[in-house]
Amino acid sequence: MDVWPLPTGPEVTVVFAWPARGVAELRVPYDLGELREVQRRVVDLFPA
């Protein structure tokens, strides 16, 4: 999954469902503070 730019705010909720495969809707909240910390440590292996 790629989300750019990161949404503003403290949290984002990712929603997933795949009814054809019997997967009911699933909502997962993510702490954007943690994602922003990881983002600072990312190394681009294939820069444009």
Q: Which domain holds residue 15?
A: 11-40
Q: Given this model, what pLDDT does residue 25 score?
A: 97
pLDDT digits (tens, 9 = 90+) for 5-19: 878 889 989 999 999
18 within a domain of the structure (yes/no): yes
Around Cβ 43, how many Cβ atoms within 10 Å? 5
27 within a domain of the structure (yes/no): yes
Q: Given this model, what pLDDT does residue 19 score?
A: 96
Cα-Cα-Cα-Cα dihedral sign, residues 1, 9, 30, 34: positive
6 within a domain of the structure (yes/no): no
31 within a domain of the structure (yes/no): yes
Number of domains in the chain: 1
47 within a domain of the structure (yes/no): no
What's the rounded mean pLDDT across residues 32-47? 88
Residue 28 in contact with residue 13, Cβ under 8 Å? yes
26 within a domain of the structure (yes/no): yes
Residue 35's identity, in one-letter code, is L
Paired residues of 16 in beta bridges: 26
The whole-chain average pLDDT of the chain stands at 89
Residue 1 has pLDDT above 70, yes or no: no
